[in-house]
Structure 1
Amino acid sequence: MRGEIIAIGDELTTGRILNSTSCFAAARLFAAGYKVPVLTTISDDLELISENLLQALARSDFVIVTGGLGTTSDDLTNEAVSAALARPATLYPEILRKIQAHSEHLSPRARASLEKLAWLPDGAHALHSEAKSAGYFLVHQGKPVFFLPGVPHEMRELMVEAVLPRLAVWDGKPTRRVRQRVYRVSGPGEAEINQCLADLEARDERAKIGYYPVSPEVQVSLTISAASGAEADALLADFDGEIRRRLGQDIYGLEEESLEEVVGELCRQRNLRLAVAESCSGGLIAAAVTRVPGSSAYFLGGVVAYSNLLKEKLLGVAGETLAAHGAVSAEVATEMAAGVRRASGADIALSATGIAGPDGGSEEKPVGTVYIGLAAAGGVRAELFTFNGKRGQIQEATAHRALDLLRRYLLSTQDSRPTGEKHG
């Protein structure tokens, strides 16, 4: 079945409130096997509500409407529905009695205003006989239309307890089984990942691959829709194996896993202690690491050495190195990493030095130039990165790629020795 969601409220169209109700409904419907290709957000406007409802009914098998069911003058959904569907407003005494039974603690004036909640379009049925919140459905030209409150927790309750069960038995046809997996990818861009997986998209119409850049990473979604759970599971396993094979270590995690969680678990498994030395990232690497509960088991701490003076005094960067190569260089990055590792007693250390902008760049070293260093027992190395964007974006990208550099290193070696170019 194909559905549509309409969210109503001036607070949504002005950006004052995030439209979390549509997100919740779409996710639950998707997981249950329904297609929801259209989400609409409109203001509290009689004409807009009527127009969008009629359009949705013309192209969908069911419609879910949220918002505009309250007692105030700007709650216009019921009035608009009555006009659009030619269903006169009707007082439902049983609904009114239940509303009043739950509002005995209110003042007489407030209780009187609640009568508006019991005036519904003709043919309406309460969604939940025991629910304290507004919510009803009606059937128009053979299609179910659900009207839910805009208050998020009330809407979620009715969505789960009333809407989904009714849809499940509506047309008597079994819904398709849906499986989804989200891969979190660091390194290649959206276009490069798409090129790598493009031929997979045409392999089977039951599988769909989506690409979502969420800077500084890309999230790749695999969605399977099949007639049975067993069929969906088998297809998911097949596509999952191929995606993992093609993207390899560029996949750092699945679903809600964060890069800092993955890195932390690797450090914990190897019993490694980590320290960081930061300049252009301003402490964001340390902030990311310590977002993980229990990070004190492997994270010793860090130094934000923004000036050359502190790079020398706290990290032991040689004045000659700074003079010869500049603060933004592979040589300084490696000395920063080696210095914080030595000072802290860490097993492994990261460093970052670069130009976050908007000023400070040159033809040789433009804004976005960043060197990330990694030091361990057997040596030290630095890698050059060039990031785009505003200052904050460059700083976030620096922290992300520093942790990704550590992740890749830990996956590629069984000890704590970095490989590759060495400095110092």
Structure 2
Amino acid sequence: MKAEILCVGTEILLGDIVNTNAQFISRQLANLGIEVFHQSVVGDNPDRLLEELENGFKRSDIIITTGGLGPTPDDLTKETGAKFFNRELILDKNSLENLKEHFSKMGRSYSKGNNIKQAYFPKGSKILPNPHGTAPGCAIEENGKIMIILPGPPKEVAPMFNNYVKPFLKKYSSKIIKSKTLRLCGIGEGVMAEMASDIIKNSTNPTVAPYAKEEDTILRITAEASTEDDALKLINPVEIQLKKIFGINIYGEDDIKMEEVLGKMLTDKKFTISSAESCTGGMIAAKLVNYPGISEVFKEGAVTYSNEAKINRLGVKKTTLDKYGAVSYETAREMAEGIAKTSNTDIGISTTGIAGPGGGSTEKPVGLVYMGLYIKGRVQAKKFQYFGSRNTVRKRATMSALDWVRREILSI
């Protein structure tokens, strides 16, 4: 079946919010083996919304909408859907009771304003409960056409889709599409694509596609089959080949994050760690703290931005700063050793660089970052060159620092 996604909301058109719902729903439909042929966004205008539905159902069998289910007068997605299918709106008593209970818990009355309109649905539609908000969704099915109406907030869309829409749509798909993602760090998209070029060119089912993200690069293996088990059987041999090619450059799979991988390694091995950051300004510490249980091993994160802080907190020699500058191998080494020894940790990681947009020179351009690593008594330093905005440089440097620690632990 052919599907399209129609997101409703003037705030999306104005750029006030990012339309993450379309991305999420597209991925879920792909996993169900339902092809997405079109995506569109329309403002809170019933005439334009009705026109989109009329045009959409000429192209597709399924239209999934998000947004326009709230209590305000411009929330008219259900009303427009009812008009398209020529159905009246009927009060659903269960939804009304849920609405009453929700507002009662908040010490408010559901009857104030237009809240009650959220309990009305096109006659004969399948209601999709919303335990995460006040606006349930619904599905209308008629003459081979299906309209699925979801709320706007992503935190409500995801559970509603997973719990109710996915089981509803499974009967319409005779195949599934399954993807496996390999996450890499320390290797660019071009090099990655070249190393895997034979597999990428010669793979048809599954296919292999390289992508560059802001902080890492990924290889997505996608297979089409009648069952998930069959799809995984197609993916597995290609995954093994890619892991042989890229080895240690692969740090994780699917949605796992670098800090999760490193956090588990540190806690499993009981290696304590501390960080001394200049250009990254605490980003390394923040990433580590994302991992639950990191308090067992993460002892301290210091932002030593000025030369005075590097001297007073870390013990960096003034002569080192005078001779080599703050952005140098030598300073990075002393920072890493200083934080590890003063925090009494097995590992110390440091960053010092020029994030930009100003401050660079021919000798030390914007994006230049030196990192130091103290691990079990051994001190090293590395030079990195990044490109992009100030924040991009900082994010990429943070990722490289965490990845360097990961690689060193694996080599022990």
Is TM > 0.5 for Structure 1 vs Structure 2? yes
State the AA in 2 paired with 1:145.
Answer: M
- Residue 302 of structure 1 aligns to a residue whose secondary structure is strand
State the AA in 2 paired with 1:144.
Answer: I
Deviation at 1:96, TM superposition (A): 6.3
2:367 is the alignment partner of 1:368:
yes
User: Which residue of structure 2 lines up, in the alignment, with residue 381 of structure 1?
Assistant: 380
User: Which residue of structure 2 lines up, in the alignment, with residue 328 of structure 1?
Assistant: 327
Instruction: Give CA-to-partner distance per residue, 1:178-205, whole Å, 9 cap, x none.
Output: 3222222211222222222333234342
State the AA in 2 paired with 1:169.
Answer: K
Distance 1:129 1:57, change over 3 A: closer
Please tell me whether the aligned partners of residues 327 and 370 of structure 2 are also in contact (alpha carbons under 8 angstroms): yes
Distance 1:134 1:370, change over 3 A: closer
- Aligned-partner Cα distance in 1 for 2:283–2:180: 29
- Aligned-partner Cα distance in 1 for 2:369–2:26: 40
- Residue 196 of structure 2 aligns to a residue whose secondary structure is helix
Unaligned segments of structure 1, at least 5 residues: 415-424
Unaligned segments of structure 2, at least 5 residues: none
State the AA in 1 paired with 2:145.
Answer: K
State the AA in 1 paired with 2:184.
Answer: V
State the AA in 1 paired with 2:407.
Answer: R
Distance 1:400 1:229, change over 3 A: closer
- Aligned-partner Cα distance in 1 for 2:117–2:126: 18
- Residue 181 of structure 1 aligns to a residue whose secondary structure is strand
Matches within 5 A, 1:19-418: 19-69=19-69, 72-77=72-77, 80-81=80-81, 87-88=85-86, 90=88, 92=90, 95=91, 114=117, 117=120, 120=122, 125-128=124-127, 135-139=137-141, 141-150=143-152, 159-160=161-162, 162-170=164-172, 175-412=174-411, 414=412
Deviation at 1:371, TM superposition (A): 0.9
- Aligned-partner Cα distance in 2 for 1:394–1:154: 34
Please tell me whether the aligned partners of residues 125 and 136 of structure 1 are also in contact (alpha carbons under 8 angstroms): no
- Please identify the structure whose Cα radius of gyration is greater: 1
Please tell me whether the aligned partners of residues 119 and 136 of structure 2 are also in contact (alpha carbons under 8 angstroms): no
Distance 1:226 1:411, change over 3 A: same
- Residue 359 of structure 1 aligns to a residue whose secondary structure is coil
Please tell me whether the aligned partners of residues 185 and 253 of structure 1 are also in contact (alpha carbons under 8 angstroms): yes
Deviation at 1:108, TM superposition (A): 7.3
Please tell me whether the aligned partners of residues 46 and 77 of structure 2 are also in contact (alpha carbons under 8 angstroms): yes
User: Which residue of structure 2 lines up, in the alignment, with residue 7 of structure 1?
Assistant: 7
- Residue 53 of structure 1 aligns to a residue whose secondary structure is helix
Instruction: Give CA-to-partner distance per residue, 1:273-323, whole Å, 9 cap, x none.
Output: 222222222222222222222212222213332222332333232232222
Instruction: Give CA-to-partner distance per residue, 1:206-262, whole Å, 9 cap, x none.
Output: 223344433121233222211233321211111111221222211111223221222
Deviation at 1:30, TM superposition (A): 2.8
Instruction: Give CA-to-partner distance per residue, 1:72-130, whole Å, 9 cap, x none.
Output: 432344565567x5x545465xx466676777796878689749945x4xxx5221398
Moved more, 137-146 or 324-333: 137-146
Deviation at 1:161, TM superposition (A): 5.5
- Residue 395 of structure 1 aligns to a residue whose secondary structure is helix
Please tell me whether the aligned partners of residues 337 and 350 of structure 1 are also in contact (alpha carbons under 8 angstroms): yes
- Aligned-partner Cα distance in 2 for 1:327–1:29: 51
- Aligned-partner Cα distance in 1 for 2:229–2:359: 58
Distance 1:383 1:53, change over 3 A: same
Please tell me whether the aligned partners of residues 139 and 145 of structure 1 are also in contact (alpha carbons under 8 angstroms): yes
Deviation at 1:31, TM superposition (A): 2.9
Instruction: Give CA-to-partner distance per residue, 1:350-370, whole Å, 9 cap, x none.
Output: 121112223321111111111
Identity of aligned residues (%): 32
State the AA in 2 paired with 1:44.
Answer: D
- Aligned-partner Cα distance in 2 for 1:107–1:405: 55
- Residue 128 of structure 1 aligns to a residue whose secondary structure is strand
Give the superposed CA RMSD: 3.3
Distance 1:11 1:378, change over 3 A: closer
State the AA in 1 paired with 2:185.
Answer: S
- Aligned-partner Cα distance in 2 for 1:305–1:115: 53
- Aligned-partner Cα distance in 1 for 2:141–2:376: 71
Distance 1:71 1:334, change over 3 A: closer
- Aligned-partner Cα distance in 2 for 1:195–1:287: 34
- Aligned-partner Cα distance in 1 for 2:70–2:279: 51
Instruction: Give CA-to-partner distance per residue, 1:121-171, whole Å, 9 cap, x none.
Output: xxx52213988956554445533233344466765566456544443334x
User: Which residue of structure 2 lines up, in the alignment, with residue 418 of structure 1?
Assistant: none
Distance 1:116 1:320, change over 3 A: closer
Please tell me whether the aligned partners of residues 71 and 116 of structure 1 are also in contact (alpha carbons under 8 angstroms): no
- Aligned-partner Cα distance in 2 for 1:395–1:249: 23
- Residue 68 of structure 2 aligns to a residue whose secondary structure is coil
Deviation at 1:7, TM superposition (A): 1.6
State the AA in 2 paired with 1:291.
Answer: N
- Residue 351 of structure 1 aligns to a residue whose secondary structure is strand
- Aligned-partner Cα distance in 2 for 1:117–1:33: 32
Please tell me whether the aligned partners of residues 182 and 220 of structure 1 are also in contact (alpha carbons under 8 angstroms): yes
- Aligned-partner Cα distance in 1 for 2:23–2:178: 18
- Residue 125 of structure 1 aligns to a residue whose secondary structure is coil
